[in-house]
Amino acid sequence: MLRYFTSGESHGEALVAFISGLPAGLEVDVAYVDRELWRRQQGYGRGGRMKIERDAAHVLSGVHHGKTIGSPISILLENKDWKNWQEALPVETGDPAKHKRVASPRPGHADLAGALKYNFSEARYVLERASARESAARVAIGGLAKLFLREIGVEVLSHVTRVGEAELSDEVKWEKIRALWEKEEVLLNCADADAEQRMKAEVDRALRIGDSVGGVFEVVAHGVPPGLGTYAQWDERLDGLLAGAVMSLQAVKAVEIGSGIQAAGAMGSTVHDEIGYNDGAFTRARNNAGGIEGGVSNGEEIRVRGYLKPISTLRRPLGSVDFATREPVKAAYERSDVCVVPAAGVAAEAMVALTLAKCALEKFGGDSMVETKRNFEGYKEQLRKF
């Protein structure tokens, strides 16, 4: 069974991600994982932190001579900023005077809910873990899940369809999304140059007025075989698993599969994807279902969209209350991004890849890649003969 966890605080010494259940014999290209980490750090509208960090995966266990050995894998990502925080966030008791209190909870962050829950008198420890710095750890193990999926012909990438009010409404073909991955400079990871400029203008507007913007990314999984997930039990449905995985990302507030949101207001005949048969294969004229019907992948591309709220930390902070005095104050401000839609898309790719890898391993099993691929080839043969 594929299982994964992350640990680490935003300004702690390091993040650590764990993944267990990957078969032995999977080739691990650490440079590929590092490029995924780099992609998460890109995008117009990111803050100063991204200039400090340049994430690199330090594999601690489970990979030897370039291949997985079937045992749990742990990956460490150093926090370069740690050197500036050692006295503020020591592991030992340290000097309480050096602690950097977050005196007034920021609306839209976990600050207040977390302080109430864990009985903290201020929000420092809350934001340290609730911060989306954690998503870097997911991207690291998501990179391994992507390498595994490649072995069975599946690729997972994302692109941005909306920033603030600037939107790209046309469907974007896989080849264009693939071409975005090749780019060495990421602006807003949008496949249409004109829409990207409009998106950039939205970020500029937010920057000018000390505000923030959200948006929408779409994750596309290409080459997914039919039959991942099942309708047989509610918690094994692929749409539910993907929705949970993408929604678990910081700032994602809605998830859509295929044309789900638009479909809610349309007539059924315009929504459902008619089935044909050509050249020995079932075909679809369109993919409004986003590649999933009845909680099962149907062989079409899986398309999952994540809707991001605007970043909560504002240069012109909203009203809050001082934790100690309960007097009204402006919310605390800490260095922040203004727009993170492209980065959130990369983190969502990781969550989609991890979810698909888990489902694929449940379907095909195998303790080694040889076994997994043999089982996969057997299934493909079964589909050919169907």
Residues that bind ligand FMN (CB under 6 A): 47, 108-110, 130-132, 135, 249-251, 309, 311-313, 336-337, 340, 343-344, 347
Left, alpha or beta for 377 (phi > 0: left; psi -120 to 50: alpha)?
A: alpha
For 318, phi then psi, to 5°, come to -80, 175
**Closest separation between CB of residue 245 and ligand FMN, Å?**
13
Q: Which is nearer to ligand FMN, 202 or 273 (CB)?
A: 202
Q: Which is nearer to ligand FMN, 109 or 198 (CB)?
A: 109
Q: Which is nearer to ligand FMN, 112 or 130 (CB)?
A: 130
**Closest separation between CB of residue 61 and ligand FMN, Å?**
26
Tokens 């596309």 identify what position?
A: 220
Which neighbouring-strand residues pair with 281?
A: 278
Q: Which is nearer to ligand FMN, 6 or 135 (CB)?
A: 135
Closest CA to 253 of 178, 308, 292: 308
Question: What CA–CA distance (Å, rounded) separates 352 from 247?
Answer: 11
**Closest separation between CB of residue 369 and ligand FMN, Å?**
31
Closest CA to 251 of 139, 106, 116, 130: 130
DSSP state of 162: E
**Closest separation between CB of residue 350 and ligand FMN, Å?**
11
Residues in the chain: 386
Q: Which is nearer to ligand FMN, 332 or 357 (CB)?
A: 332
Query: Which residue type sits at 295?
Result: G
Q: Which is nearer to ligand FMN, 178 or 309 (CB)?
A: 309
Structure tokens belonging to residue 121: 């008198």
Structure tokens belonging to residue 125: 């420890």
Task: Tell me the chain's radius of gyration from C-alpha atoms.
Answer: 22
Left, alpha or beta for 265 (phi > 0: left; psi -120 to 50: alpha)?
A: alpha
Q: Which residues lie closer than 8 Å to 287 by C-beta, 6 or more apart?
A: 258, 273, 300, 301, 303
**Closest separation between CB of residue 131 and ligand FMN, Å?**
6
Q: Which is nearer to ligand FMN, 63 or 130 (CB)?
A: 130
Q: Which is nearer to ligand FMN, 68 or 212 (CB)?
A: 212
**Closest separation between CB of residue 133 and ligand FMN, Å?**
8
Q: Is 65 exposed, middle or buried (0-12, 13-18, 19+ CB in 10 A)?
A: exposed
Provide the angle, in degrees to the nearest 10, between the axes of the packed helices 238-247 and 341-364: 150
**Closest separation between CB of residue 41 and ligand FMN, Å?**
9
**Closest separation between CB of residue 87 and ligand FMN, Å?**
23
Question: What CA–CA distance (Å, rounded) separates 85 from 386?
Answer: 60
Q: Which is nearer to ligand FMN, 130 or 257 (CB)?
A: 130
Report how far apart, in Å, the C-alpha atoms of 354 and of each of 17, 132, 147, 177 are.
13, 18, 11, 20
**Closest separation between CB of residue 113 and ligand FMN, Å?**
9
